[in-house]
Amino acid sequence: MAPDLAGTITGVALTALLLGRAIREHRVRLQLIWWWLALAVTAGLAGRWGPPLGMPTATGVTAASLAWMFAWLGLVHTGAILVFHVLLRRLRLPRLASDLTIGAGYAAVVAIFLRRMGADPASLLTTSAVLTAVLGFALQDMLVNLAGGLVLEFEKVFVPGDWIRTEHGTALVRDIRLRHTLLENPDGDLVVLPNSILTRAPVVVLGRALDGEQIRHRMLTRFHVDYEHSPPALIDAVEQALRQSPVEGVAEDPPPRCVLFEYEPHHAQYGVLTWMQRPGLEYIDASSVRLRVYYACSRLGVPLSAIHYRLDNYSPTPRATSQRLAALEAVEILSALTPEERQELAESITEVSFAPGETILKEGDPGDSLFMVKRGRVRVLLARANGLSEQIALLGPGQIFGEMSLLTGEPRSATVVAAEQTDCLVMGKVDLLHLLERRPALAEQISAIVAARQRGLTEARQRMTEPSSQLARMSFEHLLGRVQRYFGLEKSGGNTG
Secondary structure of the chain in the HEC alphabet? CCHHHHHHHHHHHHHHHHHHHHCHHHHHHHHHHHHHHHHHHHHHHHHHHCHHHCCCHHHHHHHHHHHHHHHHHHHHHHHHHHHHHHHCHHHCCCHHHHHHHHHHHHHHHHHHHHHHCCCCHHHHHHHCHHHHHHHHHHHHHHHHHHHHHHHHHHHCCCCCCCEEEECCEEEEEEEECCCEEEEECCCCCEEEEEHHHHHHCCCEEECCCCCCCCCCEEEEEEEEECCCCCHHHHHHHHHHHHHHCCCCCECCCCCCEEEEEEECCCCEEEEEEEEECCHHHHHHHHHHHHHHHHHHHHHHCCCCCCCCCCCCCCCCCHHHHHHHHHHHHCCHHHCCCCHHHHHHHHHHCEEEEECCCCEEECCCCCCCEEEEEEECCEEEEEECCCCCEEEEEEECCCCEECHHHHHHCCCCCCEEEECCCEEEEEEEHHHHHHHHHHCCHHHHHHHHHHHHHHHHHHHHHHHCCCCCCCCCCCCHHHHHHHHHHHHCCCCCCCCCC
- Total structural domains in the chain? 4
Structural domain harbouring 252: 217-300
Q: What is the pLDDT of residue 417?
A: 94
The reply to whether 325 and 466 lie within a common domain is yes
The reply to whether 201 and 257 lie within a common domain is no
* Domain-embedded: residue 407: yes
Q: What percent of the chain has a predicted confidence (pLDDT) above 90?
A: 14
Which of 206, 228, 261 marks a domain boundary?
A: 206
The reply to whether 467 and 346 lie within a common domain is yes
* Domain-embedded: residue 141: no
* Domain-embedded: residue 134: no
35-68 confidence digits (pLDDT tens): 888 888 888 787 777 666 666 666 666 777 888 8
The answer to whether residues 474 and 454 touch, using CB atoms and an 8 Å cutoff, is yes
Output the domain CATH number for residue 462.
2.60.120.10
The pTM assigned to this predicted structure is 0.58
The reply to whether 393 and 470 lie within a common domain is yes
* Domain-embedded: residue 306: no
The reply to whether 334 and 478 lie within a common domain is yes
- Beta-carbon neighbour count of residue 315 at 10 Å? 8
| Cα 228 from Cα 148, distance rounded (Å) | 57
Which of 112, 127, 142 marks a domain boundary?
A: 127
274-304 confidence digits (pLDDT tens): 998 888 888 889 999 999 999 999 888 888 7
The reply to whether 366 and 249 lie within a common domain is no
Q: What is the pLDDT of residue 180?
A: 83
Output the domain CATH number for residue 295.
3.30.70.100
* Domain-embedded: residue 117: yes
Q: What's the whole-number mean pLDDT along residues 254-264?
A: 91
- Kindly report which listed range (88-92, 133-137, 392-396) carries the lowest average pLDDT score: 133-137
The answer to whether residues 398 and 331 touch, using CB atoms and an 8 Å cutoff, is yes
Is the pLDDT at 395 greater than 60? The verdict is: yes
Output the domain CATH number for residue 198.
2.30.30
Mean pLDDT score of the chain, rounded to an integer? Answer: 79
The reply to whether 430 and 332 lie within a common domain is yes
The reply to whether 292 and 179 lie within a common domain is no
The reply to whether 377 and 428 lie within a common domain is yes
The reply to whether 332 and 233 lie within a common domain is no
Is the pLDDT at 472 greater than 50? The verdict is: no
Is the pLDDT at 261 greater than 50? The verdict is: yes
The reply to whether 344 and 408 lie within a common domain is yes
Which of 274, 300, 326 marks a domain boundary?
A: 300
Q: What is the pLDDT of residue 126?
A: 58
Q: Exposed/middle/buried for 137, CB within 10 Å: 0-12, 13-18, 19+?
A: exposed
Q: What is the pLDDT of residue 416?
A: 94
* Domain-embedded: residue 448: yes
* Domain-embedded: residue 497: no
* Domain-embedded: residue 144: no
The reply to whether 353 and 475 lie within a common domain is yes
